[in-house]
Chains A and B, each alone.
Chain A
Amino acid sequence: MADRPVLSLVNLRKAYGALVVTDDVSLDIPAGEFHAVIGPNGAGKTTLIHQISGLAPSDSGQILLDGQDVTRLSMPQRVSRGLVRSFQITSILPGFSALENVALAVQARSGSSFRFFGDAAKEEALNHPARAALAEVGLEARMHMRASLLSHGEKRQLELAIALAAQPRVMLLDEPLAGTGHEESEALIALMKRLKGRATILLVEHDMEAVFALADRVSVLVYGRVIASGPPQAVRENAEVRAAYLGEEELA
Chain B
Amino acid sequence: MSAPAHSAAPPAPSMPTRRPVWAREALAVALFLALALIPFAAALGAESYLLSLCTRVVIFGIAALSLDLILGYGALVSFGHAAFLGMGAYAVGILSSHGIKDASLQLPAALAASALFALVTGALSLRAKGVYFIMITLAFGQMAFFLAVSLAAYGGDDGMTLSGRSRLFGFEWIKGDRAFYYVSLGFLVVCYALCRSLVASRFGRVIRGARENPVRMEAVGFPLFRYQLAIYVVAGAMCGLAGFLLANQAEFVSPAYMTWQRSGELIVMVVLGGLGSLHGAIIGAAAFLLLEEWLSGFTEHWKLIFGPFLVLVVLFARGGILGALDRVPGFRRWRGGHG
Interface of A toward B, CB cutoff 8 Å: 53, 55, 74-77, 79-80, 84-85, 87, 91-97, 100, 104-105, 107-109, 112-123, 141-145, 149, 162, 166
Contact = CB atoms under 8 A, between A and B. Distances in A.
A87 B219 contact: yes
Q: Which of A80, A84, A108, A149 gathers most chain B CB within 10 Å?
A: A108
B223 A74 contact: yes
B219 to A, nearest CB: 6
A89 to B, nearest CB: 10
18 contacts: A76-B218, A79-B219, A79-B221, A84-B220, A84-B221, A92-B213, A92-B216, A104-B209, A104-B217, A107-B205, A113-B227, A116-B201, A118-B202, A121-B16, A144-B2, A145-B13, A162-B216, A166-B220
Interface residues of B, dominant DSSP = helix
Nearest to A100: B205
10 smallest CB-CB distances across A and B, nearest first, come from A79-B221, A108-B221, A105-B220, A76-B223, A115-B202, A93-B212, A120-B202, A120-B205, A113-B202, A91-B216
Interface residues of B, number: 31
Given A95-B212, A120-B201, A121-B200, A145 B11 contact: yes
B215 interface: yes
Contact of B202 (A91, A97, A107): A107
B203 A116 contact: yes
Nearest to A85: B219
B15 interface: yes
A87 B213 CA distance: 13
Contacts of A105: 220-221
Q: Which of B208, B220, B227 gathers most chain A CB within 10 Å?
A: B220
Nearest to B234: A116
B170 to A, nearest CB: 33
Contacts of A94: 212-213
B141 interface: no
B203 A115 contact: yes
Given A104-B209, A107-B202, A145-B13, 4 more contacts: A116-B197, A116-B201, A116-B203, A120-B200
B266 interface: no
B203 A114 contact: yes
Given A55-B219, A108-B220, A93 B209 contact: yes
Q: Which of B2, B14, B204, B216 gathers most chain A CB within 10 Å?
A: B216
B215 A55 contact: yes
Contact of A120 (B13, B16, B204): B204
B203 A144 contact: no
B218 A91 contact: no
A92 B213 CA distance: 7
A207 B222 CA distance: 32
A96 to B, nearest CB: 7
B230 interface: yes
A76 B219 CA distance: 6
A96 B212 contact: yes
Given A55-B215, A118-B201, A166 B221 contact: yes
B13 A113 contact: no
Nearest to B207: A113
Nearest to B206: A113
B191 interface: no
A200 B159 CA distance: 66
A144 B2 CA distance: 9
Contacts of B208: 96
Contacts of A143: 13
B223 to A, nearest CB: 4
B94 interface: no
B198 interface: yes
A5 to B, nearest CB: 23
A166 B208 CA distance: 19
